[in-house]
Amino acid sequence: MIMSLLAFAAVLLIAYWWANTGAFSSLVHMMCVITAGAVAFAIWEPVSYRLLETPIEGHAKGLVLVGTFVGLTALLRLFTDKFIPMNLNFPRAADVAVGGAFGLVSGVLSVGIMIISMGYFQSTVTIGDYTGWSRRSDVPTAPTIGSDNAPMLHIASATASFYGYLSWGSFTPWLGGGTFATHSPDLFRQSASINRDSFGEGQGRIAIQPGAVSDLALLDVPAAPLSGAVGTAPAAAWAVGFTVSQDGYDGGGQQFVLTAAQARIIGNGKNAASVHPVAWSQPTQTAPMGYFFFSSPSNMVTSIPSQGESKCVLLFPKSEFGTQAPKYFEIKGVRYLLPAPKSGAELLAGGAAAAAGGSRGKRIEDPEATDISSLCDFPDPYYAIGGTVINSNEKGNLVTDGANFVVSGEQKFPRDGSANVSPELRVRGFQVQAGQRILRMNASATAEGVRIFPDLNEWVRSAGAEAQDARVCVIDDAGAKYYAVGLVEDDGEWVFVRSMGGKPLRIRDIPIQPLGSGKKLFLHFRVPSGANIRGLMLVSPSGDRVVNDISVTVPKEQ
């Protein structure tokens, strides 16, 4: 209630200010606010999507919306003050009444945009005493999304409805074939905590890089179990299959986590339907297909630990679409145009992995691939990284966790680091979780070595930028990918440590290793205990190229 009181107090204060300023000045300011808001919403997604690739991804959409609105309002006010310097005089009663009315509109829109922006900042589901809309645990058919009836929701709702109405009128976009109302329905609900409803009450990511989601497929499922309740009959459903790469994972690339509130399908109607999933299917560690329900707020999609890609199919009840057909799929605040639907009958026949979309490219077996099993080992996770002792107080740009394991960043250290650092202060290896090991691969440039450098691989020389952007991974006997998470280069005098911070390592991220240089290079992969590693692969849009063979089994964690 305190947050709502503050919001209404801000609206009334703005209205009072402009009531005292006069009707004409209040009208001019209202037009500035309306225009600034319309422009802010128009460029909101194109600008913020680009910022989702940056470290501010969790705040990008909120910053862009509120920053653009405030900046444009200020510029328009400066412009109008310069070119409309004179006020118009009206009777005092009219000035106060009309000015107050215009000021009230300005206040509602200004505060409404602030409230909507607040929903797109990385934060907990509840901010202060304000939750808004969220999944409810007190409803047997969860994930029903309900409201805490916070009065400030009316301000956000009025703002979103106002700009949705304008987008059908004088503010209709010239290009794009859609409007604010059709592309962002239920915006005030999304911003009122649904967007922030992530793992751990907001600890998980609320944003995802647009390029991290691929292989979108829209499936028409004739009948599927949409509830785990006893006696519930199967019903028709729309399903969306997709693949998420490690770029979009939570916890520094550890695992992909998705709640029911963070995904939805948007219909193709003027009053577009907005439907959240009620069930999902995905491959598991023990079976090619698993079927699960969002029957509790604690139930959420999680990728198989260590794997660099996650395939999933979300199911949405057809009954909630009415006569509309799915048009867009939105996941963690990023909207994608859905492809033409195809049959989803195979979904319940054991084909979840296929239904979730194919691989990014065909698999190519390199005819010159050699076995490099002898170049792979599994170091003690507490080893001194790179063979040199690094003091955690002098780690430079490296980011470590509470146990001094490397999480992200890069830094160069003297090769003969002091060995007098106490074990508690030493920087350890690359971060792993329970059930995982680090596979260390000797990728030093030798004729019999790892074939991912121009001196050793014709494809890397001829493919240009595509090869340089290829991601480096190892694969197991089931074809699951485990991307390199970091590297250590040793030239005899200096040790260079680079951690990708959860993002897959690309060839361009590897320092040049000419043959005969004498440098030592070690790539590090996070793999699950017990996995059978069978090859080194370069992943690119045109294909997944197996460049070296491996035959090792990951030992159990120490």
In sign, the C-alpha dihedral spanning 358, 359, 360, 366 is negative
Q: What is the pLDDT of residue 277?
A: 93
Q: Is residue 75 part of a domain?
A: yes
Verify that 394 and 376 share a domain, yes or no. yes
Verify that 41 and 107 share a domain, yes or no. yes
Q: Is residue 558 part of a domain?
A: no
Last residue of a domain, one of 191, 225, 254: 191
Verify that 325 and 382 share a domain, yes or no. no
**Residue 538 and residue 504 in contact, taking contact as beta carbons nearer than 8 Å:** no
Q: Is residue 470 part of a domain?
A: yes
Q: Pairing between strand 342-343 and 213-224?
A: parallel
Q: Is residue 48 part of a domain?
A: yes
Q: Which of 216, 224, 176 is nearest to 45 (CA)?
A: 176
Q: Is residue 337 part of a domain?
A: yes
Q: Tell me the CA distances in angstroms from 471 to 2, 52, 247, one per residue in order.
A: 49, 20, 11
Q: Tell me the CA distances in angstroms from 63 to 44, 68, 185, 197, 553, one per residue in order.
A: 9, 8, 21, 19, 47
Q: What is the pLDDT of residue 121?
A: 92
Q: Which amino acid is at 237?
A: A
Q: What is the pLDDT of residue 354?
A: 44
Q: Encode the chain (558 residues) as per-residue pLDDT tens digits.
A: 788 899 999 999 999 998 988 889 999 999 999 999 999 998 999 999 999 988 888 999 999 999 999 999 999 999 988 888 767 777 778 788 989 999 999 999 999 999 999 999 998 888 888 888 887 766 555 567 888 888 899 999 999 999 988 887 767 766 666 678 888 898 988 998 888 888 877 778 899 999 889 889 999 998 888 887 777 788 899 999 999 988 888 877 788 999 999 999 999 988 899 999 999 998 877 666 788 888 877 888 998 888 888 889 999 999 999 999 999 999 999 999 999 998 877 666 544 444 455 445 578 888 888 899 999 999 887 776 877 788 888 888 989 888 888 888 999 888 776 667 787 888 888 888 888 889 999 999 887 888 888 777 888 888 888 888 899 999 998 888 999 989 999 888 888 999 988 788 999 999 888 777 788 999 999 998 889 999 999 998 888 899 999 999 999 866
The first and second tokens of residue 376, run together, are 């792979």
Last residue of a domain, one of 330, 358, 386: 358
Q: What is the pLDDT of residue 557?
A: 67
Q: What is the pLDDT of residue 177?
A: 62
DSSP letters, 121-180, are: SS--SSBTTB--EEE-SSSTT-S-EEE---THHHHHHHHHHHHHHHTTTTT--SSSS--H
Q: Which helix (H) or strand (E) segment is 61 a member of?
A: helix 60-83
Based on the number of CB atoms within 10 Å of its own CB, is 2 exposed (0-12), middle (13-18) or buried (19 or more)?
exposed
pTM score of the predicted model:
0.84
Verify that 185 and 255 share a domain, yes or no. no
Verify that 475 and 546 share a domain, yes or no. yes
CA-CA distance, 215 to 237, in Å (whole number)? Answer: 20
Last residue of a domain, one of 304, 338, 358: 358
Q: What is the pLDDT of residue 359?
A: 45
Q: Is residue 196 part of a domain?
A: no
Domain that holds residue 130: 2-191
Verify that 232 and 117 share a domain, yes or no. no
Based on the number of CB atoms within 10 Å of its own CB, is 160 exposed (0-12), middle (13-18) or buried (19 or more)?
buried
**Residue 500 and residue 408 in contact, taking contact as beta carbons nearer than 8 Å:** yes
Verify that 220 and 334 share a domain, yes or no. yes
Q: Is residue 478 part of a domain?
A: yes
In total, how many domains does the chain have? 3
Verify that 225 and 125 share a domain, yes or no. no
**Residue 345 and residue 221 in contact, taking contact as beta carbons nearer than 8 Å:** yes
Q: What is the pLDDT of residue 61?
A: 94
Verify that 290 and 351 share a domain, yes or no. yes
Verify that 19 and 140 share a domain, yes or no. yes
3-class DSSP state of 443: coil
Verify that 383 and 509 share a domain, yes or no. yes
Q: Is residue 199 part of a domain?
A: no
Q: Which of 431, 210, 436 is nearest to 307 (CA)?
A: 436
Verify that 222 and 164 share a domain, yes or no. no
